[in-house]
């Protein structure tokens, strides 16, 4: 039941927010987000007692023999936690901004959180797909309506691009349904297919996930969209939404395409690794901070993707924890960018500088989150990156070495950005930089604390998904076959 509550509570909350009027919307939304977070903690406690108690199986579409099957496993719980943890933070992060039609804005955020949770708990492929697409619509409107310059074109491209990917997946879904006569997770993972069937299915699903993440070279929508979307939208996109793609690979691509997943790993990893270096290199010379972070995100996600397809226990475990870590970090960075932009009216690195003189506290948070992002040990970024690189290294040492360049390049662009934005003498743009407000301090404190706590004691988070990853690896990744 708690699983259903997790899905539907935000939906109801979203309607309430919409009805509460523009003036109260943000408070009601925050309350909704917090309740949702509490719900997810309840789910977590239940999960630790008995994961199967979270499963729900209801008849739904008798015409297709589809049941409404949801449940939470070790990987799902991490992402559910991430979602319900970040949503209130994202809502709180907007407290200093005034939006036109605020009620709609916050309602869309909550609606999106409902869809996102749905994606992470679905054990039915059709249900998954519906939530998958449903998550896209609110973010499209958020980015398109409240976004910045050139929003219409950019967000529409993003919308189309991701939908195109999803439609390929839809073909795959239909096909696999007809093979199994079921959308059910267990049935599908037991399905035996021929090699070529698996191959086609792999690519059909992969393109959807690759665009969502995005993996090089399907990424071109991403920098523009991140740059254009309002901060909250960018946070949703980068913090949670791209995890849908990664999660999709773990939940569906691995069990469905089986052998094809393993034998296509090479190609995908090569592209992912290219993306790691490519994103990092391109980030270096960006002048717009948001765009810089967007490229850095391509780099980070490339590593997660490479780890996914390396498909060993270390790399998968790494990718799961890195999903959480990346979500937290990137939200933090985008929040900092937003509050700088709000105060100075610019995101141009060239125009900024010396903010530390006015807001030393901000620089502390900035450094902590930045360190998380460059994967310094004892921050959350390190654990994931270490496991991912290690797993990738087990897969192919050379690729891991190339991927490891991100350790260097990440420091290059991040430090460059930090230096040019925060350090040095203040200039006319930054000299009137107002100190942080309470809501900003709360957001940044929570994020920074998470960065450090996860980094210092990652075992708790790792243990959540350990068992499920182990069984996934042993059942699908170590050996998979197809009918010749």
Partner 1 sequence: MKELVKFIPLLPLAGFLVNGLLNKKMPKTMAGLLASSVMAFAFIISFSTFLSIKDQPNASFVVNIYDFINVGSLKIPFSFLIDPLSVLMMMIITGVGFLIHIYSMGYMHDDEGQVRFFAYLNLFVFFMLLLVMGSNYIIMFIGWEGVGLCSYLLIGFWYKNQNYNDAAKKAFIVNRVGDLGFILAIFLIFNQFGSVQFADVIASASKLGTGSVMLTAITLLLFVGATGKSAQLPLFTWLPDAMAGPTPVSALIHAATMVTAGIYMIIRSNILFTLSPTTCAVIAGVGVATALFAATIGLAQNDIKKVLAYSTVSQLGFMFLALGVGSYTGALFHVMTHAFFKALLFLGAGSVIHAVSGEQDIRKMGGLKGKLTITFITFLLGTIAISGIPPFSGFFSKDEILAAAFSYSPILWGLGAVAAFCTAFYMFRLLFLTFFGTFRGTEEQKHHLHESPISMTLPLMVLAVLSVVGGYANIPAVLGGGEYLAKYLAPVLAPTTEYIAAHGHKAHLSHETEYALMGASVVIALIGIILAYVTYVAKKAVPAEDGAELGFLHKLILNKYYVDEIYDAVFVKPLYALSSFGYKFVEVSGIDKLVNLTSDSFVLGSKVSSKLQTGNVGTYLLLMVIGVIAILAYNFSRI
Partner 2 sequence: MIALVILALLGVFLMMSGVLGIGRKSAGVVATLGIGAALLANTLMWDKDVTALNEMFNKMMIVDNYGLAMVGVILASAFGLFLLSDKYFSEITNYFTEHYALYIFALVGMICMVMYNNLSMLFIGIEIMSVSLYILAGSNKTNLASNEASLKYFLMGSFATGILLMGIALIYGATGSFYLSGIESHFVDNPDSNNIIALVGMFLLLIGMAFKVSVAPFHFWAPDVYEGSPTFVTAFMSTAVKVAGFASFYKLMYICFTPNILYWESVVWVMIVLTISVGSITALIQTGVKRLLAYSSVSHAGYMLITILTANEDSDLLFYTAAYVIASLLAFGVLFLVIDAKGDDKVESFNGLSKSNPFLAFSLTVAMASMAGLPLTAGFFAKFYVLTAAVKDGYIYLVLIAIVNAMVGIYYYFKVVIAMFFKEESSETISISVSPFYKLVLTSGILATIVLGVYPDLVYNLI
For partner 2, give the closer residue by CB, 115 or 323: 115
Count of C-beta atoms within a 10 Å radius of residue 95: 16
# of chain residues touching partner 1 (CB under 8 A): 59
3-state secondary structure the chain: CHHHHHHHHHHHHHHHHHHCHHHHHHHHHHHHHHHHHHHHHHHHHHHHHCHHHHCEEEEEECCCCEEEEECCCHHHHHHHHHHHHHHHHHHHHCCCCCCCCHHHHHHHHHHHHHHHHHHHHECEHHHHHHHHHHCHHHHHHHHHHHCCCCHHHHHHHHHHHHHHHHHHHHHHHHHHHHHHCCCEHHHHHCCCCEHHHHHHHHHHHHHHHHHHCCCCCCCCHHHHHHHHCCHHHHHHHHHHHHHHHHHHHHHHHHHHHCHHHHHCHHHHHHHHHHHHHHHHHHHHCCCEHHHHHHHHHHHHHHHHHHHHHHCCHHHHHHHHHHHHHHHHHHHHHHHHHHHHHHHHCCCECCCCCCHHHHCHHHHHHHHHHHHHHCCCCCCHHHHHHHHHHHHHHHHCHHHHHHHHHHHHHHHHHHHHHHHHHHCCCCCCCCCCCCCCCHHHHHHHHHHHHHHHHHHHCCHHHHHHHHHHHHHHHHHHHCCCCCEC
Binding partner at 21 among partner 1, partner 2, none, C-beta below 5 to 8 Å by kind? none
Binding partner at 459 among partner 2, partner 1, none, C-beta below 5 to 8 Å by kind? partner 1
For partner 2, give the closer residue by CB, 61 or 190: 61
Using CB under 8 A as the binding rule, the residues of this chain from 311 to 370 that contact partner 1 are 313-314, 317-318, 354, 356-357, 360, 367
- 267 contacts partner 2 (rule: CB under 8 A): no
Using CB under 8 A as the binding rule, the residues of this chain from 168 to 207 that contact partner 2 are 168, 170-171, 174-175, 177-178
Using CB under 8 A as the binding rule, the residues of this chain from 449 to 478 that contact partner 1 are 457-459, 462-463, 466, 470
Which residue shows structure tokens 């619509």? 137
Binding partner at 314 among partner 2, partner 1, none, C-beta below 5 to 8 Å by kind? partner 1
Shortest separation between residue 386's beta carbon and partner 1, angstroms: 7
Shortest separation between residue 411's beta carbon and partner 1, angstroms: 5
- Asked if 268 and 206 touch (Cβ cutoff 8 Å), the reply is yes
Binding partner at 151 among partner 1, partner 2, none, C-beta below 5 to 8 Å by kind? partner 2
- 351 contacts partner 2 (rule: CB under 8 A): no
Which of 253, 306, 333, 371 is in the footprint of partner 1 by CB under 8 A?
371
- 217 contacts partner 1 (rule: CB under 8 A): yes
Q: Which of 289, 295, 436 is nearest to 362 (CA)?
A: 436
Using CB under 8 A as the binding rule, the residues of this chain from 63 to 102 that contact partner 2 are 63-64
- 34 contacts partner 1 (rule: CB under 8 A): no
- 412 contacts partner 1 (rule: CB under 8 A): yes
Shortest separation between residue 77's beta carbon and partner 2, angstroms: 25
Binding partner at 27 among partner 2, partner 1, none, C-beta below 5 to 8 Å by kind? none
- 129 contacts partner 2 (rule: CB under 8 A): yes
Shortest separation between residue 76's beta carbon and partner 2, angstroms: 20
For partner 1, give the closer residue by CB, 20 or 317: 317
Site residues (vs partner 1, CB under 8 A) = 157, 160-161, 217, 219-221, 223, 278, 281-286, 313-314, 317-318, 354, 356-357, 360, 367, 371, 376-378, 382-383, 386-387, 389-390, 393-394, 397, 400-401, 404-405, 407-408, 411-412, 415-416, 419, 422-425, 457-459, 462-463, 466, 470
Site residues (vs partner 2, CB under 8 A) = 60-64, 129-130, 132-134, 137, 141, 144-145, 151-152, 155-156, 159-160, 163-164, 167-168, 170-171, 174-175, 177-178
């Amino acid at each position: 039941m708690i699983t259903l509550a997790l899905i539907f509570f935000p939906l109801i909350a979203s309607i309430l927010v919409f009805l509460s009027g523009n003036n109260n919307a943000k408070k009601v939304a925050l309350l909704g987000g917090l309740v949702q977070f509490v719900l997810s903690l309840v789910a977590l406690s239940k999960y630790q007692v008995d994961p199967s108690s979270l499963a729900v199986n209801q008849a739904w579409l008798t015409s297709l023999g589809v049941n409404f099957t949801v449940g939470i496993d070790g990987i799902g719980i991490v992402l559910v936690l991430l979602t319900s943890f970040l949503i209130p933070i994202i809502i709180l992060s907007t407290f200093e901004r005034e939006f036109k039609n605020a009620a709609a804005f916050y309602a869309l955020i909550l609606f999106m959180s409902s869809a996102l949770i749905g994606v992470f708990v679905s054990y039915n492929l059709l249900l998954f797909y519906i939530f998958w697409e449903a998550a896209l619509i609110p973010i499209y409107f958020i980015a398109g309506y409240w976004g910045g310059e050139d929003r219409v074109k950019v967000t529409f491209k993003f919308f189309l691009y991701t939908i195109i990917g999803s439609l390929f997946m839809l073909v795959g879904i239909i096909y696999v349904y007809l093979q199994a006569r079921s959308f059910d997770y267990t049935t599908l993972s037991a399905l035996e297919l021929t090699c070529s069937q698996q191959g086609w299915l792999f690519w059909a699903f992969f393109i959807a996930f690759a665009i969502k993440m995005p993996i090089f070279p399907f990424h071109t929508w991403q920098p523009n969209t991140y740059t254009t979307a309002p901060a909250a939208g960018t946070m949703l996109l980068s913090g949670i939404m791209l995890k849908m793609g990664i999660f999709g690979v773990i939940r569906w691509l691995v069990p469905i395409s089986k052998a094809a997943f393993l034998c296509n790993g090479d190609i995908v990893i090569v592209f992912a690794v290219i993306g790691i270096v490519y994103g990092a290199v391109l980030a270096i010379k960006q002048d717009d901070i948001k765009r810089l972070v967007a490229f850095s995100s391509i780099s980070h996600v490339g590593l997660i993707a490479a780890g996914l397809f390396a498909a060993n226990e270390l790399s998968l475990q790494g990718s799961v924890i890195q999903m959480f870590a990346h979500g937290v970090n990137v939200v933090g960075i985008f929040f900092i960018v937003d509050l700088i932009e709000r105060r100075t009216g610019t995101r141009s690195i060239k125009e900024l500088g010396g903010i530390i003189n006015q807001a030393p506290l901000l620089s502390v948070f900035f450094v902590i989150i930045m360190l998380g992002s460059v994967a310094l040990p004892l921050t959350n970024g390190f654990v994931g990156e270490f496991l991912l690189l290690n797993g990738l290294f087990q897969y192919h040492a050379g690729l891991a070495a190339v991927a490891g360049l991100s350790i260097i390049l990440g420091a290059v662009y991040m430090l460059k950005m930090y230096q040019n934005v925060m350090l040095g003498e203040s200039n006319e743009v930054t000299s009137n930089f107002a100190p942080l407000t309470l809501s900003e301090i709360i957001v940044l404190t929570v994020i920074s604390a998470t960065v450090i706590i996860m980094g210092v004691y990652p075992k708790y988070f790792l243990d959540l998904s350990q068992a499920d990853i182990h069984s996934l690896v042993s059942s699908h990744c170590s050996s998979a076959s197809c009918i010749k």
